[in-house]
A and B are shown apart, each in its own frame.
Chain A
Amino acid sequence: MTASLWIIATGILAAAACGLLGSFLVLRKTSMLGDAISHAVLPGIALAFLISGSRNPIPMLIGAGALGLITAFCTETLHRVGRLQQDASIGVTFTWLFALGVILISMYAGQVDLDQECVLYGEIAYVPWDVWLWNGLDMGPRAIWVLGATFLIDLVFVLTCYKELKLTTFDPQLAESLGISTRLFHYLLMAAVSLTTVAAFESVGAILVVAMLIAPAAAAYLLTDRLSRMLVLAMIIGAASAVTGYLLASWLDASIAGAMATMSGIFFALSFFLAPRHGLLPKHFARLSTK
């Protein structure tokens, strides 16, 4: 019983951290950059494994964080210097880095306890057994600590830079004229996204991080016009997906992370059809009643 509580708690923490940052990705039309970063951290994780020789989270965070920033930098450089359109520069960058990661892993397959399946869809079910021992003391699952710290960092970042993030998201020109660097906040946001992706990859996997980043934020975007409410709603919807996803998974005897992503999709679908002002059905009825 406690095991399932730990799993749900991990899911909620991951979903809350992702929902917070994902809202900005969706509003800035850079959702796919989140997808790209979540794939491109693979070589960083592989290199950190090879160099440190362990699953120690600190080198992994550094390696993956660096790769996340390299992804954001390469994408922007290809777009600005290489004059390549945005979507293609994202696509070229992350596929190349992911391929590099897969090659690194297969080259050192014997030395690395890591395969691409684990990176792609994680295994949240093992979370309760991977405990953090501190001075022989059982401190609880390590993922809780890692994700909890990540969520706190994201929260502090968003709260302290709320005004700047809001302005650079909705009106970059005005932000620039007020002396707020849009590029600085772009990179800060990307750093936070990379950090969160890495923290979450072990438990929920790279692609399901994308679901957590985008689906709750997109659902929240249809429910409100205010940024602060959108952030809170995205976190709530993400947490709800985590809880219901766990139940769905135990009912189907299937991947918990997969079920959580499925549930986030279902919550988006609900919001897409039923959201009071921007939903499909209310809009449809409004059109009927005006006729």
Chain B
Amino acid sequence: MMLWANTNLHFVLVGTTLFGFSAGVLGCFAFLRKRSLIGDALAHAALPGVCIAYLLTGTKVQGVLILGALGSGLIASYILNAIVRHSRIKEDAAIGLVLSVFFGIGIMLLTHIQHLPMGNQSGLDKFLFGQAASLIGKDLYLFGGLAAAVITVTFLAYKEFKVIAFDPGYAETIGIPVRRMDVLLTLLIVTVVTAGLQAVGVVLMAAMLITPAAAARQWTNQLWRMLLLAGIFGAVAGSAGAIASAVAPRMPTGPWIVMAITAIFVVSIVFAPQRGILARVLRQFRNATRIQQENVLKTLYRLMEDAPQSTPTVDMVRRYRHLSIRRTLHLLKRLQRMGFVSEGTRPEEWLLTADGRTRAEALVRRHRLWEVYLTQYLQLGKGHVHADAEEIEHVLTPELEQELEALLGYPVQDPHARPIPYSRDGGPK
């Protein structure tokens, strides 16, 4: 409650939240074009502009300094594009080059100003490292205006930005002015970066553009959702950082904002439902189990095909598939629960149920059809087709299978002269 009485905190909180939102939304476009680090270059490039604006006007009026930063940011992005277009220097080197040289010029000018009789650079280096705690009421107009501008432009030019983000070449062919839209986007990014310098500083500015977008990408495949999520993530991190630095005095705001957004990112990259690491590992595990189960079904079928009189045992299956007894039993029990196999009359014996037989036939059919296809159409020797068929049998869809059957003319035998089982309702009439 005492915290809330602090009006300065209100300014900081609202400011960093608005800024986090704008940066998050804009960062998505740079992210999708694989140009995330541009923000880093533009943030560093703002410094010489700030210094030159001060040298020319002699004032530290914020508007003037921001105009200077905007100017040098735009020049930097022009140079960056020119280097990539007109020489064999790749984008990564161009970004690093522009970033470090502009920053070097900035440092040189900053120290030059420092040594001038006319004054000190205090206030100028606020642009370097950011001092969100010093945000005051009128800064909020800047951040508010910025957020409004970002939302308006994104809303109006959503379709164009979307096409450019995913396929610039196609965008050009359908008549979207890609170059002009790129300039607009750069202008917006430079503006956000310049405003953000005061909140988080040069180095950490890059995080505000990259990290929310990278986190949001994990959760969705739809652009508008990604934009919204990145904006929310940025805003949440912005306010969290402001609160953290207010709770612990002497703590800079910028790094805490970055810590917050990185925490959101880590959660996203690990736990996101589709693309998250955990979900992917689980999926791989389930897939491997499914394939093993299908292999056991198929093995039962094959054993009964080779010796129709005897009933397959656990040991026979295990040897055929090179599995441990425990694993084989586990898989068989799972298949039993699914109704595909049942225990035989004697111990250790297992039989296919009618459902299991249909499933196994489908697998064997796909396997053998694929072998026929490989030998007939790719002229592979029949000794080389088994391994490939072992994999494809688990992924071939019924539609592809039908096409394959039609293409091959419903063959009755595979290259090894084994019969291809067709289900009773399908197949050749």
**A81 surroundings in chain B (CB, below 8 A):** 277
Interface hits, A62-110 → B, CB 8 Å: 78, 81-88, 90-92, 95-96, 98-100, 102-103, 106-107, 109
Q: Is B93 in contact with chain A by the CB < 8 A criterion? A: yes
Minimum Cβ distance to chain B for residue A246 (Å): 12
Given A31-B95, A255-B108: A215 touches B101 (CB 8 Å cut-off): yes
Instruction: Find out whether the CB atom of A95 lies under 8 angstroms from the CB atom of B125.
Output: no
Given A261-B100, A272-B87: A88 touches B254 (CB 8 Å cut-off): no
Stretch of A116-124, A141-149, A154-162 contacting B (4+ beta carbons < 8 Å): A116-124
Instruction: Find out whether the CB atom of B262 lies under 8 angstroms from the CB atom of A32.
Output: no
Q: Is A207 in contact with chain B by the CB < 8 A criterion? A: yes
Which B residue sits closest to A91, measured CB to CB? Answer: B210
**A258 surroundings in chain B (CB, below 8 A):** 104-111
CA distance A32 to B128 in the complex (A): 20
Which B residue sits closest to A123, measured CB to CB? Answer: B111
Instruction: Find out whether the CB atom of A255 lies under 8 angstroms from the CB atom of B111.
Output: yes
CA distance A127 to B34 in the complex (A): 40
B214: contacting residue among A34, A84, A259, A278, CB under 8 A:
A84
Q: Is B60 in contact with chain A by the CB < 8 A criterion? A: no
Instruction: Find out whether the CB atom of A35 lies under 8 angstroms from the CB atom of B207.
Output: no
**B100 surroundings in chain A (CB, below 8 A):** 35, 207-208, 210-211, 214-215, 261
Stretch of A2-10, A232-240, A262-270 contacting B (4+ beta carbons < 8 Å): A262-270
Q: Is B103 in contact with chain A by the CB < 8 A criterion? A: yes
- The number of chain B residues with a CB under 8 A from chain A is 61
Q: Is B129 in contact with chain A by the CB < 8 A criterion? A: yes
Stretch of B36-44, B304-312, B351-359 contacting A (4+ beta carbons < 8 Å): B36-44
**B207 surroundings in chain A (CB, below 8 A):** 91-92, 95-96, 99
Instruction: Find out whether the CB atom of B213 lies under 8 angstroms from the CB atom of A96.
Output: no
Minimum Cβ distance to chain B for residue A115 (Å): 9
Instruction: Find out whether the CB atom of A261 lies under 8 angstroms from the CB atom of B92.
Output: no
Q: Select the residue from B86, B93, B128, B256 with max chain A CB neighbours within 10 A.
A: B93
Interface hits, A138-176 → B, CB 8 Å: none
Minimum Cβ distance to chain A for residue B342 (Å): 42
Which B residue sits closest to A260, measured CB to CB? Answer: B104
Minimum Cβ distance to chain B for residue A23 (Å): 11
Q: Is B350 in contact with chain A by the CB < 8 A criterion? A: no
CA distance A16 to B128 in the complex (A): 28
Given A208-B100, A211-B100, A265-B105: A92 touches B210 (CB 8 Å cut-off): yes
**A278 surroundings in chain B (CB, below 8 A):** 87-88
Which B residue sits closest to A119, measured CB to CB? Answer: B203
B96: contacting residue among A213, A222, A248, A255, CB under 8 A:
A213
Instruction: Find out whether the CB atom of B112 lies under 8 angstroms from the CB atom of A254.
Output: yes
CB-based A-B contact count at 8 angstroms: 209
Q: Is B407 in contact with chain A by the CB < 8 A criterion? A: no
- The number of chain A residues with a CB under 8 A from chain B is 65
**A264 surroundings in chain B (CB, below 8 A):** 101, 104
**B204 surroundings in chain A (CB, below 8 A):** 95, 98-99, 102
**A184 surroundings in chain B (CB, below 8 A):** none
Instruction: Find out whether the CB atom of B104 lies under 8 angstroms from the CB atom of A257.
Output: yes
Instruction: Find out whether the CB atom of B96 lies under 8 angstroms from the CB atom of A214.
Output: yes
Instruction: Find out whether the CB atom of A96 lies under 8 angstroms from the CB atom of B93.
Output: no
Instruction: Find out whether the CB atom of B255 lies under 8 angstroms from the CB atom of A103.
Output: yes
Instruction: Find out whether the CB atom of B93 lies under 8 angstroms from the CB atom of A106.
Output: no
Q: Is B35 in contact with chain A by the CB < 8 A criterion? A: yes
Which A residue sits closest to B88, measured CB to CB? Answer: A278
Instruction: Find out whether the CB atom of B97 lies under 8 angstroms from the CB atom of A99.
Output: no
Minimum Cβ distance to chain B for residue A180 (Å): 23
Q: Is A221 in contact with chain B by the CB < 8 A criterion? A: yes
Instruction: Find out whether the CB atom of B93 lies under 8 angstroms from the CB atom of A207.
Output: no
**B32-59, CB under 8 A of A: which get 1 and which 0?**
0011110110001000000000000000
**A8-31, CB under 8 A of B: which get 1 and which 0?**
000000000000000001100111
Instruction: Find out whether the CB atom of B277 lies under 8 angstroms from the CB atom of A82.
Output: yes
Q: Is A227 in contact with chain B by the CB < 8 A criterion? A: no
Instruction: Find out whether the CB atom of A99 lies under 8 angstroms from the CB atom of B258.
Output: yes
Given A214-B93, A265-B105: A207 touches B37 (CB 8 Å cut-off): no
Instruction: Find out whether the CB atom of B104 lies under 8 angstroms from the CB atom of A268.
Output: no
CA distance A257 to B104 in the complex (A): 7
CA distance A178 to B144 in the complex (A): 59
Q: Is A252 in contact with chain B by the CB < 8 A criterion? A: yes
**B56-88, CB under 8 A of A: which get 1 and which 0?**
000000000000000000000000000100111
Given A102-B252, A254-B108: A31 touches B258 (CB 8 Å cut-off): no
**A102 surroundings in chain B (CB, below 8 A):** 204, 252, 254-255
> Chain A residues in contact with chain B, CB under 8 A?
25-26, 29-32, 34-35, 39, 78, 81-88, 90-92, 95-96, 98-100, 102-103, 106-107, 109, 116-117, 120-121, 205, 207-208, 210-211, 213-215, 217-218, 221-222, 248-249, 252-255, 257-262, 264-265, 268, 272, 278, 280
What are the 9 tightest A-B residue pairs by CB atom distance, in nearest-first order? A261-B104, A265-B101, A258-B107, A258-B108, A95-B207, A211-B100, A91-B210, A99-B258, A99-B255
Given contacts A95-B258, A258-B104, A265-B101, 10 further A-B contacts (CB under 8 A): A86-B34, A92-B211, A95-B262, A98-B255, A120-B202, A207-B100, A208-B100, A213-B96, A258-B109, A264-B101
> Chain B residues in contact with chain A, CB under 8 A?
31, 34-37, 39-40, 44, 83, 86-90, 92-97, 99-112, 115, 125, 128-129, 202-204, 206-207, 209-211, 213-214, 250-252, 254-256, 258-259, 262, 265, 269, 275, 277
Can you list 11 residue pairs at the A/B interface with Cβ under 8 Å? Answer: A91-B206, A91-B211, A98-B258, A99-B204, A102-B252, A106-B252, A117-B128, A205-B107, A210-B99, A261-B105, A268-B101
